[in-house]
C-alpha cells in the first residue's frame, strides 16, 4: 500500500479476464478483494483439460479463438509478470508484433485457446494473498444506502443468502451482466445503453499441428474478408490453432457450414486458410457463437452519476464484435486504471463513479466507436455477398485513407509501425495517423492511384453454395 492510501474493500462480481486481472492488480496494491464467480474452478490437469473438462457456461465465447494483443501483454508485464511466465510455462504462444514492414520493438502478443489462459489466470488469482474467492455463488442484487445527492452501493447480495459489504462494487459480469435487473430491484434509474446487433456469427474449429508440419505465422489482423464471409486463422497454445468463419445471420447456408466436413472443405478452398488446414488435425467440433453485438452501458447521464460506489468493468461496460481481438486488452486497460484510482472511492463514491465513467469514455470509447463504424461496413459487405454482389469498402475519404494505410504498411516501416500501434491499442487512429511522418506517405501512396479493391473471391459465392449444397 502506498503512503497515504487507505485499504479499499472491493467486491468483484465475475471472474472472467477483466475481473480476475483487476483482483490481482488491486490486491497487489494492498486492497482487500472479494470475488464472486458463478462457475466452478478449472480442473487440475493438462491444458487440453481446461478446454475439454472445464464447465464454464458464464463465458460462452470460451471455445472461440482468443489473442491477447500487445497492449494486454504490456499491462501484464508491468503489473504481473509472473502471469506471463506462467502462461509460457503452460504452453501459451508468444509472438513478435509485426505489421507489414513495421514492428513494435520490445512488444509481443500472446495466443491461446481462451480457457487455457483464463484457467491459468484463475489459479494464480486463487493463490494470491488478499483475495477471497467465493466460487459457485453469484451476485443477485445490490445493497444500497441513501447517500448525498445520489444513493450509494455499499455491498452485494449473494445467491447463497449472504451479503458482502464493500467500499466499491465492480460489475465484471461480462456481456451478460444482470446490472439493469439489480438496479431495477433497488429502485435505481435504468442504465443508459447503446446497442448494435452485428448481424453475423462465428464458427470456430481447433486443430493440432500435424507432426512434421509448420503452419503459417500468425498475424494481426488474422482475418481475410470475402464478399460473403470473413475467415480468420490464428495460432494458439501447445501447437494448436483455430480457423474461424464469420457469416451473416441471414445466410441460408449458415447451418450447413456447422458440419465439420463441410467446414473443413470450405476453409481448405480459401487460399488464406488452406495452408493452415493442411498443417493440422482437428481436435474439436465446430463451435458457434451467435448473438454478437456491440454494447456500451453507462451509469452516468448528463446530470451526473446515477449512483455512487459501483463501476462497470470490461465487457460489462462496453464490448465489441471480437474480430479484431480487442476485448481482453480493453478489459486489462480498465482493470489497471481501476487499481490506480480505486482508493478515491472511499471519500467520494459518487465522484469516483463519474470520473471512472469519464475515463472509460475517453480511453475505451474511442475503440468502441471505431468498431461500430467498421461493423456497419462488414454487415453491408456480408449482406451484399449473400446476394452475390460486391461492396467495396473504400468509397469515403476515411475508408480510403484506412485502406491506403494498410496497403502502404506493407512496404513502409513508419506506416507499418503506426498501423501496429493502432491494431494493438497503443494509439487510437487519430494519434497513430495524425503525425505528418505517417500521414504524408499514406497520402502520397494514395495519390499514386493504387488499386485498393479486394482480389476476386476464392471460392466465389456460387462455388461456396455448390460446395455446401452437395450431398
Ligand X SMILES: Cc1cc2nc3c(=O)[nH]c(=O)nc-3n(C[C@H](O)[C@H](O)[C@H](O)COP(=O)(O)OP(=O)(O)OC[C@H]3O[C@@H](n4cnc5c(N)ncnc54)[C@H](O)[C@@H]3O)c2cc1C
Beta bridge partners of 141: 157
135 near ligand X (CB under 6 A):
no
| Residue number with CB closer to ligand X (39 or 465) | 39
Between 40 and 271, whose beta carbon lies closer to ligand X?
A: 40
CA dist., res. 68 & res. 355, Å (int): 27
Q: Does 421 help bind ligand X (rule: CB under 6 A)?
A: no
- Shortest Å, Cβ 327 to ligand X: 2
Residue of 33, 34, 37, 196 interacting with ligand X (CB under 6 A): 37
For ligand X, the binding residue among 15, 299, 350, 382 (CB under 6 A) is 15
d(CA 368, CA 331) in angstroms, rounded, equals 12
CB of 272 to ligand X, least distance (A): 17
User: For the chain, first and last CA: distance in Å?
Assistant: 66
Provide, rounded to whole angstroms, the least separation between the CB of residue 308 and ligand X: 20
Kindly indicate which of the ranges 257-265, 328-336, 346-354, 377-385 contains the residues binding ligand X, using the contact rule CB under 6 A. 328-336
Q: Choose between 179 and 407: whose C-beta lies nearer to ligand X.
A: 179
From 35-43, 213-221, 259-267, 385-393, give the range in contact with ligand X by CB under 6 A: 35-43
Binding mask 234-263 for ligand X (x = CB under 6 A): ------------------------------
# of chain residues touching ligand X (CB under 6 A): 40
Residue closer to ligand X, measured from CB, 156 or 407: 156
Residue of 325, 349, 416, 441 interacting with ligand X (CB under 6 A): 325
Angle among Cα 76, 78, 79 to the nearest 5 degrees reads 65
SS3 275: helix
> Closest Cα to residue 124, out of 55, 62, 175, 76?
76
Residue given cell 464490448 in the structure block:
319
Min. distance of Cβ 183 from ligand X in angstroms? 13
The stretch among 59-67, 88-96, 210-218, 297-305 that binds ligand X (CB under 6 A) is 59-67
Q: How far is the CB of 459 from ligand X (least distance, A)?
A: 24
> CA of 372: how far to CAs of 293, 326, 369, 376, in Å?
9, 13, 5, 6
Parallel/antiparallel/unpaired status of strands 280-282 and 152-158: unpaired
Q: Does 33 interact with ligand X (rule: CB under 6 A)?
A: no
Least Å from the CB of residue 155 to ligand X: 14
Sign of CA dihedral 269, 403, 366, 183: negative
Binding mask 265-304 for ligand X (x = CB under 6 A): ------------------------x---------------
Q: CB neighbours of 152 closer than 8 A, spacing ≥ 6?
A: 144, 145, 146, 307, 308, 309, 349, 350
Element (H, E) at 79: helix 70-79
Q: How many CB atoms lie within 10 A of CB 441?
A: 20
Shortest distance, position 313 Cβ to ligand X, whole Å: 6
Applying CB under 6 A, does 138 fall inside the site for ligand X? yes
Q: What is the DSSP letter of 217?
A: P
Farthest-apart Cα atoms in the chain, separation: 72
199 sits near ligand X (criterion: CB under 6 A): no
Q: Quick check: 90 binds ligand X (CB under 6 A)?
A: no
48 belongs to the binding site for ligand X (CB under 6 A): no
14 near ligand X, judged by CB under 6 A = yes
The reply on whether position 329 binds ligand X by CB under 6 A is yes
Is residue 359 involved in binding ligand X (CB under 6 A)? no
The C-alpha atoms of residue 389 and residue 386 are separated, in whole angstroms, by 7
DSSP 7-71: PPEEEEE--SHHHHHHHHHHHTTT-EEEEEESS-PPPSS-HHHHHHT---TT-GGGGSEEEE-HH
Q: Which residue has the cell 452519476?
A: 305
State the minimum distance, in angstroms, from the CB of residue 222 to ligand X.
8
Residues 143-182: x/- map of binding to ligand X (CB under 6 A)?
-----------------------------xxxx-xx----
For residue 445, the 8-state DSSP code is: H
Residues numbered 178 to 197 that lie near ligand X (CB under 6 A) are 178
Rounded Cα gap, residues 422 and 387, in angstroms: 33
Residues that bind ligand X (CB under 6 A): 13-19, 36-39, 58-59, 61, 64-68, 138-139, 172-175, 177-178, 202, 289, 314-316, 319, 322, 325-329, 331
Amino acid at each position: 500500500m502506498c503512503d497515504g492510501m487507505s485499504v479499499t474493500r472491493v467486491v468483484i462480481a465475475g471472474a472472467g479476464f477483466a475481473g480476475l486481472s483487476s483482483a490481482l492488480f488491486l490486491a497487489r496494491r494492498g486492497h482487500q478483494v472479494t470475488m464472486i464467480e458463478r462457475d466452478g474452478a478449472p480442473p487440475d490437469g493438462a491444458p487440453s483439460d481446461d478446454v475439454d473438462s472445464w464447465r464454464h457456461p458464464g463465458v460462452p465465447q470460451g471455445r472461440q479463438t482468443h489473442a491477447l494483443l500487445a497492449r494486454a501483454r504490456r499491462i501484464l508485464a508491468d503489473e504481473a509478470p509472473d502471469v506471463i511466465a506462467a502462461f509460457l510455462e503452460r504452453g501459451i504462444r508468444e509472438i513478435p508484433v509485426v505489421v507489414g514492414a513495421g514492428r513494435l520493438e520490445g512488444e509481443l502478443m500472446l495466443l491461446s485457446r481462451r480457457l487455457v489462459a483464463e484457467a491459468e489466470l484463475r489459479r494464480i488469482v486463487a493463490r494470491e494473498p488478499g483475495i477471497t474467492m467465493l466460487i459457485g455463488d453469484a451476485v443477485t442484487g445490490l445493497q444500497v444506502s441513501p447517500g448525498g445527492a445520489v444513493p450509494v452501493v455499499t455491498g452485494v447480495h449473494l445467491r447463497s443468502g449472504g451479503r458482502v459489504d464493500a467500499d466499491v462494487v465492480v460489475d465484471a459480469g461480462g456481456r451478460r451482466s444482470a446490472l439493469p435487473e439489480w438496479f431495477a430491484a433497488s429502485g435505481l434509474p435504468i442504465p443508459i445503453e447503446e446497442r448494435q446487433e452485428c448481424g453475423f456469427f462465428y464458427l470456430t474449429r481447433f486443430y493440432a499441428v500435424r507432426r512434421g508440419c509448420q503452419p503459417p505465422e500468425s498475424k494481426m489482423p488474422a482475418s481475410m474478408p470475402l464478399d460473403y464471409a470473413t475467415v480468420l486463422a490464428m495460432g494458439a497454445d501447445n501447437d494448436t490453432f483455430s480457423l474461424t468463419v464469420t457469416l451473416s445471420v441471414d445466410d441460408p447456408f449458415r447451418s450447413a457450414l456447422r458440419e465439420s466436413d463441410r467446414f473443413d472443405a470450405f476453409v481448405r478452398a480459401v487460399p488464406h486458410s488452406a495452408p493452415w488446414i493442411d498443417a493440422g488435425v482437428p481436435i474439436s467440433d465446430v463451435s458457434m457463437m451467435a448473438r454478437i453485438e456491440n454494447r456500451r452501458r453507462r451509469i452516468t447521464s448528463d446530470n451526473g452519476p446515477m449512483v455512487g460506489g459501483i463501476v462497470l468493468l470490461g465487457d460489462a461496460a462496453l464490448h465489441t464484435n471480437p474480430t479484431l481481438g480487442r476485448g481482453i486488452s480493453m478489459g486489462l486497460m480498465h482493470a489497471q486504471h481501476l487499481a490506480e484510482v480505486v482508493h478515491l472511492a472511499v471519500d467520494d463514491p459518487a465522484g469516483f463513479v463519474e470520473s471512472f465513467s469519464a475515463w472509460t469514455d475517453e480511453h475505451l470509447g474511442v475503440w468502441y466507436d471505431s468498431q461500430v463504424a467498421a461493423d456497419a461496413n462488414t454487415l453491408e459487405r456480408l449482406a451484399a455477398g449473400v446476394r452475390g454482389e460486391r461492396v467495396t469498402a473504400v468509397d469515403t475519404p476515411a475508408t480510403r485513407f484506412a485502406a491506403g494505410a494498410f496497403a502502404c504498411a506493407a512496404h513502409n516501416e513508419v506506416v507499418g509501425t503506426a498501423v501496429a500501434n493502432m491494431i494493438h491499442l497503443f494509439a487510437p487512429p487519430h494519434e497513430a495517423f495524425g503525425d505528418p511522418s505517417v500521414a504524408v506517405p499514406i497520402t502520397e501512396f494514395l495519390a499514386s492511384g493504387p488499386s485498393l479493391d479486394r482480389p476476386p473471391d476464392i471460392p466465389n459465392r456460387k462455388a461456396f453454395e455448390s460446395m455446401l449444397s452437395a450431398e
